[in-house]
Structure formats: C-alpha cells, structure tokens
C-alpha cells in the first residue's frame, strides 16, 4: 500500500518539486508514495475564478473564501475519505516528529495550502481540518510547509531509507537533540575526532553520546530540555516531584 499525498493549492506546479529528486524522488518513482496536487481555483464558480476576497472588519491583504475552499476540501474528502485532512497555517499546532510518525504510518494525507492573509475561519468550524504550522515564522504560503511535512513523512515510509530510518537515536525521537557526528579525516584544521569515538569501547561511546545529547539539548533547546526533565521527574502515580538541583 502506497502513501497517497493530495495537495490542495493555488500552485500545483510546486509539487512534487524538491520531492521529485533524491530519496523522495526515487520512492515516488518506485510507487512508495503518490503525489496529486489539485488546483483550488478549479472550485471557483464566478467568471473571474476568484478564490479570495477582502477581510471582514478591514485590514491588509485578502482572505481565502470558505465556499471555494469548502468545495475543494469536499472533493478531496470524497476521493480519499480515510486520509487525515491538514491545513498549513502559522495559526496551527506545531508539527512534531510524533505527528509525522503517526501520519507516515497511515494511508496518506490531504493538505490544504493557505495563501494571502489566511483562510476564512468558518472552514475550520465546518470541516474536520487539523491546522498545522511548521514553525514560528511566516511563509508566503502553505506549500513549503506541505513539502516539509511530506518530506518528513516520506523518509519514514518502509523501504525509503533502509536501516538509517529506524532512527531511534534521531533528534526528537528520544525527546532530545541527537548527539553530534564525526567522520574521516581524523584530523581536520588541527581538530581531532573525540578520542572516545575511536576507542572501540561501545559502552563508553554510548555514555559519551548520551551526555552530549543532553548538554546540547540543554544549551540549544531549553524548551525541549524542560519537557524532558519534567517527564523524567514525573512519578509513576503521575504527580510531579520536585526536581533535585
């Protein structure tokens, strides 16, 4: 069974785009996933095929119309009713590796890509749409977010990455950033690979990697570290215990 990606967009020519090369491109050619961009404008009904209008209450920019998006979404739902329906928007919940894993394990995904100032909010009330953000910054549209989400899913599909994708050590899988990597040459610009990694002592290597994953997470991602520490001090009964300092 192949992972079916349906993308509702004003720019269908953006797909598969970068996902047509390298790992994802090969997987696409092998039929491990499929990519069907759908032009939202095809669901406009007026002479000008308009998909947007001015914002109620005033303000800058334009808003995507609920009636047009509703028809586009209904078309996608009818085509693949079992696929989760996502909308890319900076107002969405942040995408996580856990959500990516869950999506990759399913039949595929339908992704609605916003443009302009946003989408009419009534769409989210009237249809089972999960708003998703890829980070706390604003893109010019949801397409790059959709490509990012799909890339994260595709690399996890069976047969796409081989052994490397089992990735229990990967960043975020453990709630921590991954430890740093090194390869030959052993010396570069006067810098050497940490001795322990050349020792062949697997227990020592594992301990070093765990320590570096923890230090780097604490320094670079205090938010992740807090959550990790919070989970660690949680008692089996669920009550929070005071952290030892």
Q: State how far the Cα of 131 lies from the Cα of 38, in Å rounded to an integer.
A: 19
- Is residue 142 close enough to count as binding ligand ADE by CB under 6 A? yes
Distances (CA, A) of 124 to 66, 80, 112, 121, 132: 9, 19, 11, 6, 12
Q: Binder to ligand ADE among 13, 58, 137, 223 (CB under 6 A)?
A: 137
- Strand, coil or helix: 218: helix
As given in the structure block, the two tokens for residue 112 are 């609605």
* Nearest distance from C-beta of residue 94 to ligand ADE, angstroms: 9
Does the protein bind ligand ADE through residue 8 (CB under 6 A)? no
User: Measured from the CB of residue 63, what is the shortest distance to ligand ADE in angstroms?
Assistant: 14
Q: Comparing C-alpha atoms, which of 73, 230, 139, 64 is closest to residue 149?
A: 139
Stretch that binds ligand ADE, among 16-24, 87-95, 102-110, 151-159 (CB under 6 A): 87-95
End-to-end C-alpha distance for the chain, whole angstroms: 50
| Part of the chain binding ligand ADE (CB under 6 A), chosen from 2-10, 129-137, 152-160, 191-199 | 129-137
Angle of CA points 132, 227, 170, to nearest 5°: 70
Q: Which stretch binds ligand ADE (CB under 6 A): 67-75, 130-138, 160-168, 233-241?
A: 130-138
Of 56, 60, 138, 239, the residue at the interface with ligand ADE (CB under 6 A) is 138
Q: Which residues on neighbouring strands pair with residue 108, listed in sequence order?
A: 4
Nearer to ligand ADE, 27 or 112 (CB): 112
Give ∠ CA 11-12-18 in degrees, rounded to 5: 100
**Residue 148 or residue 197: which is nearer to ligand ADE going by CB?**
148
The answer to whether residue 133 forms part of the interface with ligand ADE (CB under 6 A) is yes
Interface with ligand ADE by CB under 6 A: which residues? 88-90, 114, 133-135, 137-139, 141-142, 145
């Amino acid at each position: 069974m192949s992972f079916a990606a349906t993308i509702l967009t004003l720019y269908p020519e953006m797909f598969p785009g970068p996902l047509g090369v390298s790992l994802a491109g090969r997987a696409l050619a092998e039929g491990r996933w499929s990519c069907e961009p759908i032009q939202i404008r095809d669901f406009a009904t007026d002479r000008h095929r308009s998909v947007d209008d001015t914002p109620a209450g005033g303000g800058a920019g334009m808003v995507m119309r609920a009636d047009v998006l509703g028809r586009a979404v209904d078309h996608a739902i009818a085509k693949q009713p079992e696929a989760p329906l996502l909308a890319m928007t900076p107002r969405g919940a942040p995408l996580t590796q856990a959500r990516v894993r869950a999506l990759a394990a399913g039949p595929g995904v339908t992704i609605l890509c916003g443009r302009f100032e946003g989408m009419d909010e009534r769409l989210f009330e009237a249809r089972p749409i999960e708003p998703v953000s890829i980070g706390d910054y604003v893109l010019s549209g949801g397409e790059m977010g959709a490509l990012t989400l799909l890339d994260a899913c595709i690399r996890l599909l069976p047969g796409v990455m081989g052994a490397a994708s089992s990735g229990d050590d990967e960043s975020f899988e453990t709630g921590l950033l991954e430890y740093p990597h090194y390869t030959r040459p052993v010396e570069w610009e006067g810098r050497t690979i940490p001795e322990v990694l050349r020792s062949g002592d697997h227990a020592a290597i594992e301990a070093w990697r765990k320590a570096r994953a923890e230090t780097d997470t604490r320094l670079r991602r205090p938010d992740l570290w807090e959550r990790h520490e919070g989970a660690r001090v949680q008692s089996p009964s669920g009550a929070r215990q005071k952290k030892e300092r």
